[in-house]
Structure 1
Amino acid sequence: MSVVAIIPARGGSKGVQGKNLRRVGGVPLIVRAVDAARSSRLVDRVIVTTDDARIAAAARSAGAEVIDRPVHLAGDQATSESALLHALDHLNGDPDVLVFIQATSPFVNAAEFDEAIERVRSGWEDVVFSATETYAFLWQLSDTGASGVNHDASVRPRRQDREPQYQETGAFYVMRTTGFREAGFRFFGRVGVTLVDERTAIEIDTQDELEVANALAPLLDPNLDDHAITVDAVVTDFDGVHTDDRVHVAADGSEYVTTSRADGMGVRLLREAGMPVLILSTETNPVVSARAAKLRVEVLQGISDKAAALVAWADREGIELERIAYLGNDVNDLGCLEIVGWPIAVPGAVPEVIASARVVLETPGGYGAVRELAERVLRSKRSRNEEKWEEPWLYPSVTMR
């Protein structure tokens, strides 16, 4: 049976501007949704329907097909069902099973909706949606005061004496496509529930919810330590990344910094693998030029708007921003971290950078952080049959002028 996942993602949003492109754990919401769908063992196609060119570009880069969503189906009053039906009309025949995924739920687990797909494919249920179990006492307010909704206010049974109820998370809805076509709505026939982790049951509609999701991301996201970072270029800050962010100043005003030979080897390995490397620095300093010359990489210095410089460089090199890893440590790196596919931080970076990062390295700046990043990037270029590389090692630090 064919299974298609459709992710509606319009450009407009009142609660959070550009919501579907906002990042949780360093990854845009639309990309998180596409990644979840593509990691399914049962989904055959992943489609994003959108009216926004930036969302479309991010979705394609993440590996989804894109259907242009007309303006009249992308306003505040348009329903998700209308977007789903429009997308189905543009496919070459309906799938047997439709998986409706909402990008505003950042912690979608493919294993959970695979379970839902199996239940719909078996014919046991027509619709299965994500939900959490709840024993909450609900109340409603009126002119005469508060009254119980799902309980008798005069009775207070213990939790173990109550039957659970189920709250939609909004993350996903799996349905039989023919039934959806007939009903025109996501609930029809025999409806079932897939229970999901209560911690993941967050749907982002406000800035506060976005901040909560970012706080939860380090706890809920898969461990990226053993995952390769698949990119086409590596861009780094200098101070605090190639160095430990300290500077030694001589009596005559000359400045010295400490760098690591491990980073030098990491850059060399990237270059030998054909990977473009760029150092992007706000300050202009001869020591940066000297280090870049030693590493034989391009350097851009004296840059007030690092994000604009990165965009121009990427355009010149013909590299998509989503295929760039940027390694930074301070607030002047935030603009770059927000536009690349792999925003990465060194440990000890300022909190804003840590919050924006998709990955936080283990090795501090100046002690092999660039080497660690290089190892992870190169991991994606290795064949499965190749012998595994040795663990990264640190060379002694050296002082250079």
Structure 2
Amino acid sequence: MTTVAIIPARGGSQGVPGKNLKPVGGVPLIGRAVRACRAARLIDHVYVTTDAADIAEVARAEGAEIIHRPADLASSTASSESALLHALDEIADHGVDPRTLVFVQCTSPFLEPKDLDAGVELVTGGEADSVFSGVETFEFLWRDAEDSCPPGTGPMVGQNHDASHRPRRQDRRPDYRETGAFYVMDVKGFLRAQHRFFGTTRVVPVSELASLEIDTAEELALADAFAGILDSPPADLPLDVDVVFSVVDGILTSGACAWQGDGAAVTIDRADVIGLNQIDIPWVVLPQKLGTPAPERLGLTTLPGSTAQDITDWLDEHGISPERAALVSADVETLDAMTAVGWPIAVPDAPASVRSAARLVLTFPAGRGAVRELCDRIAEARTP
């Protein structure tokens, strides 16, 4: 019983140009969708159907299989169903015969793999032919009584309630608003209906955050702000990496320093020093335009440059995969460098743009326990 996920992703976008490649939490929307599908237990194959080479490149790097989407199926007027039908034909040509189809839209950045699995279980278990993601709502909806007037300018009529009776929230049954994040379908039923809704339709209730859909620049900014918090792993999750990069000021120190006659004197938290001494991996210091040098007594490695390419070159030279490298950032100066590692990390007092680009946001502030917190997690991961 093969289950496939298909993610249509056009290169064109009217509301937000290049939307499918816009980053949320440092990860392009198409990448987030692929990751969610690959993390679902019940999805066997993940396909991205696209007309854009740059989208295909990102999706392929995340582990998706690529289907070339013809131009006539990639216009703003082409239906999603037409892209799905074409993709299923292509998949069949490659010897895959799916029973269940998961249709995912990458404009929902906070997809939960468990929700995808719940939808698949409803279809494969025979409880539904088609499934949609929906969020519970108790809103009172109104609409114009006449279609001849401009929206909102004429008499209104209630749509999901009796206007003469106003029950309490706790006395009402919820309605479900379709989020557009994902749909699950029996493949044979979909091929017959040529539409995503047919037979018995069920809902997978999702959270308000999971229901967020990006159609405007404002929604994109909101999602990016949320991502810095929502994407962070649990605070007690060990961190298994082979190298850490950081600057001195704002990470090893609070960013403040006292100037003496022979140079700058920096203060480093004793707990942070203990943390550095308990890990057996390199801690590489990046140069700052106005930063202070790393104290020699700490025995840290110093990198000549601080760009993403400088870090990539160092990792290549030392045979370390980017996925096993971490970089701790406190300022926008290192935003570019954060893209070169698998674990971009931010201190809690970093700017919002840095926190949203981070995979992990630490609990303790810079210069007052952040380094010790990180070192403790690294040491725990490396303890047999």
TM-score interval, normalised by the smaller of the two chains: 0.7 to 0.9
Q: TM-score, normalised by structure 1?
A: 0.78
The answer on 1:344 being equivalent to 2:348 is: no
RMSD of aligned residue pairs (Cα, Å): 3.4
Q: For 2:295 and 2:217, how far apart are their aligned partners in 1?
A: 41
**What is the match of residue 39 of structure 2?**
39
Mapped contact 2:229–2:361 kept (Cα < 8 A): no
The answer on 1:270 being equivalent to 2:274 is: no
Q: For 1:151 and 1:216, how far apart are their aligned partners in 2?
A: 31
Deviation at 1:76, TM superposition (A): 2.7
**What is the match of residue 393 of structure 1?**
none
The answer on 1:139 being equivalent to 2:151 is: no
Identity of aligned residues (%): 45
AA of the residue aligned to 1:107: F
The answer on 1:213 being equivalent to 2:223 is: yes
AA of the residue aligned to 1:211: A
Deviations 1:325-370 (A, max 9, x none): 3211012122333565432111322333223322111343345534
| Structure 2 counterpart of 1:279, from 270, 277, 285 | 285
| Structure 2 counterpart of 1:200, from 201, 210, 215 | 210
Mapped contact 1:130–1:169 kept (Cα < 8 A): yes
Deviation at 1:131, TM superposition (A): 0.7
**What is the match of residue 331 of structure 2?**
330
The answer on 1:353 being equivalent to 2:354 is: yes
In the alignment, structure 1 segments of 5+ residues that lack a partner are 272-276, 388-401
Deviations 1:356-399 (A, max 9, x none): 3221113433455345435545766x5xxx74xxxxxxxxxxxx
Mapped contact 2:38–2:46 kept (Cα < 8 A): yes
**What is the match of residue 394 of structure 1?**
none
The alignment partner of 1:48 has SS state of: strand
Deviations 1:283-307 (A, max 9, x none): 2767248478x22x34124x6xx34
Mapped contact 1:27–1:358 kept (Cα < 8 A): no
| Structure 1 counterpart of 2:119, from 116, 124, 136 | 116
Deviation at 1:207, TM superposition (A): 1.9
Deviation at 1:176, TM superposition (A): 0.5
**What is the match of residue 65 of structure 2?**
65
Count of residue pairs brought into register by the alignment: 371
Q: For 1:83 and 1:43, how far apart are their aligned partners in 2?
A: 19
Question: Structure 1 residues 241, 61: CA separation in 2 closer, same or farther (over 3 Å shift)?
Answer: farther
Mapped contact 1:129–1:192 kept (Cα < 8 A): yes
Deviations 1:68-104 (A, max 9, x none): 4444433433332233233322322221111112221
**What is the match of residue 176 of structure 1?**
186
The answer on 1:157 being equivalent to 2:157 is: no
| Structure 2 counterpart of 1:98, from 101, 105, 121 | 101
Deviation at 1:174, TM superposition (A): 0.6
The alignment partner of 2:46 has SS state of: strand
Mapped contact 2:227–2:356 kept (Cα < 8 A): no
Q: TM-score, normalised by structure 2?
A: 0.81
The answer on 1:245 being equivalent to 2:255 is: yes
Q: For 2:236 and 2:51, how far apart are their aligned partners in 1?
A: 36
**What is the match of residue 396 of structure 1?**
none
In the alignment, structure 2 segments of 5+ residues that lack a partner are none
Which structure 2 residues correspond to residues 280-295 of structure 1 after superposition, within 5 A? 280-283=286-289, 287-288=293-294, 290=296, 294-295=299-300
The alignment partner of 2:303 has SS state of: strand
